[in-house]
Chains A and B, each alone.
Chain A
Amino acid sequence: EDKVVQSPLSLVVHEGDTVTLNCSYEVTNFRSLLWYKQEKKAPTFLFMLTSSGIEKKSGRLSSILDKKELFSILNITATQTGDSAIYLCAPKTGDDKIIFGKGTRLHILP
């Protein structure tokens, strides 16, 4: 059965701190891995990773995939209160199914 495990489940840090969110997966017919940010509405797309070892960056966020060890990390540097959200890791299969983890609930204290 396909499995996605995110850790930690929740995290509270102070503004300005750097955080690392982890995602490990076991998925048959793996094609790519997506990261989403979910606030009080629908998830919004952050990154799609298809190749190992290539870091993707967007401002203070970055992410990398290790297809051999079956995990990905999402880094956020210089966190701000607006980064408070649930971050979802979601492997995508070759038949276009996305399997979501339970997410990491991140809370940034001012």
Chain B
Amino acid sequence: NAGVMQNPRHLVRRRGQEARLRCSPVKGHSHVYWYRQLPEEGLKFMVYLQKENIIDESGMPKERFSAEFPKEGPSILRIQQVVRGDSAAYFCASSPRTGTTDTQYFGPGTRLTVL
């Protein structure tokens, strides 16, 4: 009965390093969403993926950020050459299929701190 799993829960990186955030959706869910929550702000949509496909990446910064959801394994959000402004909580959510009747189930988040 596992929900959405994210790891690591906390990640500390120095400026210029790479950050890799992992998300394992609920078993059987084929849709994954990534959100970023900056301090004192609401959640902001970043990207929506299905297996092996990026469906909507309109919320992703144009540079340094990328996401994938391979056929096997977790979804990965990758941030290259991190900067202090990337410090935030990154949440992943999953849903079984597209449709207005399906809500998204959230993981516990990864808190990224850039020193």
Asked whether A and B interact, the reply is: yes
The interface of chain A, by Cβ under 8 A from chain B, is 4, 31-32, 34, 36, 41-45, 48, 50, 88, 90, 92, 94-103
How many residues in B have their beta carbons less than 8 Å from beta carbons of A?
26
| Interface residue B69 (Cβ < 8 Å from any Cβ of A) | no
B106:A43 contact, CB within 8 angstroms:
yes
B31 partner residues in chain A, CB cutoff 8 A: 96
Most buried by A among B44, B100, B105: B100
**Set A41, A43, A92: member contacting B43, Cβ < 8 A:** A43
Known: A32-B100, A50-B100. A103 touches B42 (CB 8 A): yes
Known: A96-B31, A100-B43. A41 touches B56 (CB 8 A): no
**Set B43, B55, B109: member contacting A88, Cβ < 8 A:** B43
B104 partner residues in chain A, CB cutoff 8 A: 45, 98
**Set B95, B100, B106: member contacting A42, Cβ < 8 A:** B106
0/1 per residue, B82-100, Cβ < 8 Å to A?
Answer: 0000000001010100101
